[in-house]
Structure 1
Amino acid sequence: MKAFLTLQPKLFLLRISLFIFAATSLLPSVLHAHHNRLELDGLVTELTDSTLSVDGLLLFINQYTEIRDNNGNLILLSDLMIGDFVETKADVQIDGSFITTEIRRDDNGEEHESKLEIRALIDAIDNNFLTVSGVQIFVDEETEIKMHGDEFLFEDLNAGDSVEVKAEFIPGEYFLAERIKLETEDPIEEDLETEGFITELGDSSLVVNGLTFFVDENTVIRDHDITISFDDLNVGDFVEVKAIFLPDSSLLAIEIKLEDRNESEIEFTGTIEAIDTSSLIVSGIPVNVNDETEILDDDNNPISFDELMVGMHVEVKALLMPDSTLLAVRIKVEDENEQQIQITAPIDTIFSSNIIVGGITFETDSNTVILDDDNNSISFEELEIGMIVEVKGRLLLSGNYYAIRIKAEDLWHSSTDISGTLNSIVSANGRIANNEFTITSNTLLLDEFGNTVDESYLTVGMMITVRTKLNELNIEEAVRLKVKHPDEIKLNGIISNISAGSITIGNQIIDLQEFTFITHQNGNQINDEDLGEGFIVNSQILSIPNQTDKAVSIKITRSPNIIKTTGTVIEKSDEYIVVSQPLFQINTSTVILNSEYRITNYSSINIGDIVTVWADNATAGNQLALQIKKITNTVTNTDEVDNGLITDYTLSQNFPNPFNPSTTIRFTVPERAFVLLKVFNILGEEIAVLVNNNLAEGVYNINFDASHLPSGIYLYRIEANNFSQVNKMLLVK
């Protein structure tokens, strides 16, 4: 297949960074304004006052390069030594040189693998070597070359193509490409993005969430990394659609992505009770195996079916077959002696390859499974402070926890849910790992069977599940605490049937109890009548031999009634908001989040803001917004300067100055450019993103609201190509 790349006119990339400091000496890294970037992990081979070489590749350092140790602490260039293993990020300059923005010294004593990721243009091709921004990269028969999921040959590559290359360093020799991804220089930006079920299909159109999207020959349709045709779509498929508005206000789909929603798939945990030649029974659930079943030990190493033993604790992923039997897709052995924990809460801190959630530090590595709310794999870099995540981890000898799996959740909620070993209980104060909570007279305490008990029932070492909320004194207060029964198992899947007092997940009938704890996607407690067929749920089941299975808890992870739409606010009132085209009702329970996942007021959303809306579509024609999250703020083009008369990027002094609590920042853009406006605190930690989109030529005003910040001197910074400028402003409260 020959590679034909249509490159749109290249945009100049403008980045405006607003930093918060009490002193100018701690400036964080400059976010250089280029599409092209480099990430390089390896050994420091040379070091000067302004450069370092990593595996022989020369990187430049300036006063804005951020250097940190393995714990995330700022260090000096003089603290680095030849032979140190470092993780670096750099921007590719116009002349092909690399300006380093971040250096992180990894000094935990572990063995590391040198690797490179670079996104830039191909300079030259010679035999089996590519030169990408001056870096020679060898390509062999194992190198994967793709664009939009389609496979390409090395011969299809051309000098000038935009590529993203992932390579490993062969010591003393060269970089070996593992993957080459062909890209277009500037993808089309969508006006609207939504996900939901296809309810209608025409010859060249589909209806999703009540919106009609047209398709043409340029619409990209994918099932994961595989390109499919429009004819492969079906009514009932769950899809994510990105679209642009045509001049007649109709919507043209530029990308349609088929999402995983396998109604026949279930996951469960339990103990192997019996094994036959091609089947086993796990906590009373029969499951078949075949040659395609993946079987792993507790270190994720492949093992044979013959190595499974009665008494092992396993996690099973299975498919419900037409004859109502279960066929195992994957069986993973779990170490029962490991001290495990599971917590759902916002991310407090991210540093190096660690995250802190609910006061508990979790380490990650390449084996950590990281998923978004739709169960798609995402990278560690896509996690953000403030994001609600569900983390499953195990205790390490260091006292930290290793994250086995991290799953991001779309809908924000104020409660923390945690399951693990009760490490201490003193005077109504309990602790799981580093997560402390207080038991009050309002706390619902339940034993292993759901019976109400008092605090004296609790003993150190018990496995418990507790939900907490911050009270007015900023103390985590236990709302509900239940002691786990040894025969509790996990059962996740789609509700296929609901009858009086029971639900069916896969082929398992589960009885609902008075103590069954049922929660909505947004974390709120709901009743069993709020459940519906087609809901995807995570559940804890009390599965005692020779007794009916009883639901301990049911958590809705996906409802067919919840829709998600991203677009521009074009109209709003106290009762509704219009985003690109759809109208959503607003009420007092609608959660409003800023771009940093902090609760904010509905009044902070303005016409022109880009937002994501999660809405309940249960009532036809009445989409109630459950949550609105700001993606970017409004940037006002003043139209004060005729097109063509702006020749430079400029950054004006804010007005008023001093200010309280808000001020206006003005800047000019001489050509269409991507604008990024960020806020950082004194430690260089990102606390706000004010602008993150393309702007046309013009003079712009942006309002900065510092009502949540303390008095002090603040700096705001503009950067574009080789231009940069820093201005001071003063907040006085």
Structure 2
Amino acid sequence: MAQTLPKHGCRSRKEFLISRRQALHHGKLIKRSCSMNTTKKMVTALLGIMLGVMGVSGLYAQSNFIVSNRADFSEHTQTFAPEDTLYIKVQDEQIDALSVKENTYELEARDSDVEYRGHLNNHLNGTWTAAIPLSGLANQGSSWKLSVEIEDDRDNVFKGKLMITIGAAGTPATPAYEHEVSGRLDSLGTDFLHLGPVQVHVDNTTEYRGEDGSQRSFAHLAAGQKLEISAYADSTGRLFARKVYIEDQGSNHEKRSLELKTTIQEAGDGYIIVANTRLNLSSEASVRNENGEYMAVQDLQAGTFVEIVVRYDNGEWLVKSIEVNDRHGHDSGKHDDDDRDSIEIAGRIQAKEGDGTITVRGHVITVTDSTRIEGSEDSALTYADLVVGMYVEVKAWYNSDSTLVAVKIEAETHDREDDIELTARIDSLGTDVIVLGHFTFTVDSSTQIYDNRKNPISFADLSVGMIVEIEGRRLADGTYLAMKIKIEDRVESEVEVSGPIDALTDSTISVSGREFAVVAHTVVYDQNKQKIDFGSLSTGQVVEVRGQLLPSGTLIAIRIKLEDNDTGTIEVEGPIDSLAQNMVMVLGLEFTVDAATVIEDKNDSTLTFDALQVGQTVEIKAVVQNDGTRLATRIHIEDVVVATGSASAVSNSSVVVAGTEFFFDATLIVLDANNTVVDQSALQSGQVLQVRATRQADNTTLATRISIENDVVVASVDNTPGTLPGEFTLQQNYPNPFNPSTIIRFTISSVEQNSARVSLRIFNVLGQEVRTLLDNAPARAGAYELTWDGRDDNGRTLASGVYLYQLTVGSVAQTKRMVFMQ
């Protein structure tokens, strides 16, 4: 549920702007198979149905960030009446819905100190929605900024910002622009200010602030001062000041100038009228549109929002430049370009065209001469340096026609194998080092440090015992430099619950009072670790559920295993939500603690209740009492580490990531890039892995879950017995999207399939077969890979688009989707 929060407090206006922008920019508010005994027509129909479900028609749609006053999202609008509900929808299939670490919206008033935050509803299919009643918000301001942020563990990021307006009750809302005037105060009257030729009215609602953020009044104003004024315009075009910032006295030797952000009232040959003031253009004046392209002043339309620079030359105020910014205005103190309707996305470049566009995660983005392009270490790049497959972070503005123009592109030009991400508790701090278990990071002036709200802090604000996430890079001497440090509320999101099944539906399972969503990738085992159907479970059975806790509080079941435990006991592992006298809450479940409860650390040393902290990962064993309460018999504090990096070595009992060996046993869960549970032998050297592990009493680190972030591309195939995955699996092609070729891997392992015939075929969106890579070929158990070059069986290069590849082993088939980008 959304909640009202106070604004960030700062000592000066400059600090206020910096902290506020950074806080808003960075801050939080959260296998199928089919029978092959079918006709070709049935295969075509099946593929058509699959594509319909996948929503191929909208794969490259730019409108994947929609706001509406209609629950069916049939119309995108940014103007609302107070009695409306604001409906938000984000669609991004490439964000991993099962490993989301950020999923939040923020609604911020531009005219008052009010913010609302909450989580979007994760539909687990690439769609996120929210519904916010607007009743009561109009009296807190008409202009609001809506921000959403969704990010997964694989560095896929979507950030969107839209300005919305809430109008008077019962009337349609209209855009409420925030006008700005910056310059030297020439004269003032009892209810007006003159900055050059522009007059701004003031009244008893006008707020005055000094340069240090302190309260001021009209009496503090004097001719010659530099002012920044935020204003609104009435129906006649007159400007009325909301806020006046008094900067300094100014210098008489300075060249007099004025900056305006306002709407055009009239434009003609060599002049414009703004704020009821006619301004002539200088002979060298430039006029640019939203894309930075030159345009004629006569092409400016009344009502267009512009940024104007005016200078005083030879006794006349002349316009030097006009830049169209026809989205929304800004409130002074909030007037940076971050307030424009925009998105921020991170991912690999899928396509690059000669017309100056790139495609990232389905978004076609125009790159202009004014786009700032940077590589690693802030090195300057050009459009020519961008290549397909490069990982980039892009900030782009929406134009009035909903096309996107890149403002800034940050490209990773260094080797990502040298990167590491680590989340753990701080063990020790030095003058310029931070130690987390086996990992030591150097901190220097380039290291960015944030609190859990992503507000900038200093290294001195960190302390031993805090949970932090560190993004680091291995240097040439083998040491690690911390690039970014952020305080976290908890180490990770893996949870485990053991107990009797309370309830079952087709898509959920409730165990010991907690409901888990059951998704396509959820696997179910019996007591002998043989796979069984979810439908074979029944209430009352004792199970162990290992799952993922999403930011919204939703629990996703990854693995369900039948147990033989006493139904009167339960076990829960997860982060502590809250603590009270003789009570600890984990995953929303309350556990009573008494004198007999044993509390231990990772070394099994006995601790007191005071050693427990919110955010710690604990394993609790409890007994259900006759009154339904849960009495904790044992609480074990887990020392959890989550590390992400390239695997330099893999054996049958350990992996080495970032120079640290993580051991594992038969209880390890391995997830591939599609969140499908796979065999431990799927791990390979060179893969980027996310390892969730616990530090043991002997100082070793035991991995409990490893996620394959992306697969390594190998040149050969291993058919050696003894290294085979435990099931028939078709992997996601790599790279995807691809150009000019991609690799398709699959494994065959079960004895029954050793003599099977294998086919691998490519289909287009119409279900037509376009390429046969394998046709009823014999195959033994082993791992295989084939390369497809985007050509059909006649050697012709196919068109860009979505294709399906289908692997058939005997009478069983698996199908996956891929994207070919020319």
TM (norm. structure 1) is 0.41
Q: Which structure dedicates a bigger proportion of its chain to strand?
A: 1
More helix by share: 2
Q: Which has the higher contact order (CA 8 A, sep 6+)?
A: 1
| TM-score where L is the length of structure 2 | 0.37
